[in-house]
Amino acid sequence: MQFPTKTIIRSLGIRPVKSCGQNFLIDESLAEKTVARAGIAPGDCVIEIGPGPGALTFFIAQSGAHAHCFEIDRDLCAMLADQYANEHVSLYNQDILQADFKALCPPGGGAVLIGSIPYNITSRIVLKFFETARLFRSAVLIVQKEFAERLCAGPGSRDYGILSVLAQAYAPPRSLFTVPAACFYPQPEVDSAAIMLAPDKSRNWIDPREVFFQKIVRAAFSMRRKKLKNCLKPFLGDDPAGVQAGLLAAGIDLDRRAETLTLDEFYTLADFLREL
């Protein structure tokens, strides 16, 4: 096994495909630091998203964990499967969005999700993680810096939106470190960031209360410039003025905009509307 430097990637004849989001990590110390932050121990179940030529896989394999790596590129997948044939590394030439996490992860919830992820499916991967968060101890992901800022944003910020609220609810995020564009081959136009998501296991994505909360969050942000009373019209029933007064008494003013609400206020709002 070798760390896939730019020279090695080129010598293997690998041509990065833009439509697959193929910007490969070529900075060895940064790859090592990323895997170290995941705190992987022997025997852990690790799911890797898009291993590419294997920058993170190289260090995951040394941890003694069992890694399940999903790579959509058939050639890269075959190459890694050859390289890691004798390790605790399983390669799947499959779309990560179709992967059955429940079948792979131990039920106790100690798995780790890791990856330098393709920018074009970042939101969908993160949403899939929220849905299955109870299976995981953490996720360590390298994403575009702008996406990391959106995910970590708080109320009142321009970046605060649906994903920020859902992240706070299901897997509060933490920014770990910046990953400069120069750490990738080919070099993207923007910097990236490593983030860690730590699931809040008191919440279960599919509970009816949570499903309704998710609907309210999405509706509240559906028209960013409009007040909550306009965005939430379909949930206010036959007496919108009465509901507005009741909510005001509960501390939520429907004349506010979604971007000003804290997570707790979103739950207060959703629980009130669910009772109607």
By the criterion CB under 6 A, which residues form the site for ligand SAM?
20-25, 50-53, 55-56, 70-73, 76, 95-97, 115-116, 118, 121
Tell whether omega for the bond before 180 is within 30 degrees of 0, i.e. cis.
no
Helix 122-131 crosses helix 145-152 at what angle (to 10 degrees)?
40
Nearer to ligand SAM, 74 or 225 (CB): 74
In single-letter form, the type of residue at position 107 comes to: P
Q: What's the min distance (Å) between Cβ of 16 and ligand SAM?
A: 8
Given a contact cutoff of 8 angstroms between Cβ atoms, the answer to whether 58 and 36 are in contact is: no
Nearer to ligand SAM, 22 or 168 (CB): 22
Q: What does 211-258 look like in DSSP terms, one character per residue?
A: HHHHHHHHHHTSSTTS-HHHHTGGGSTT-HHHHHHHHHHTT--TTS-G
Q: What's the min distance (Å) between Cβ of 159 and ligand SAM?
A: 22
Nearer to ligand SAM, 22 or 214 (CB): 22
Q: What's the min distance (Å) between Cβ of 188 and ligand SAM?
A: 9
Distance CA 149, CA 152 (A): 5
In the bound state, the residue with its beta carbon closest to ligand SAM is: 50
Q: What's the min distance (Å) between Cβ of 107 and ligand SAM?
A: 24
Nearer to ligand SAM, 121 or 166 (CB): 121
Q: How far apart are the first and last CA of the chain?
A: 61
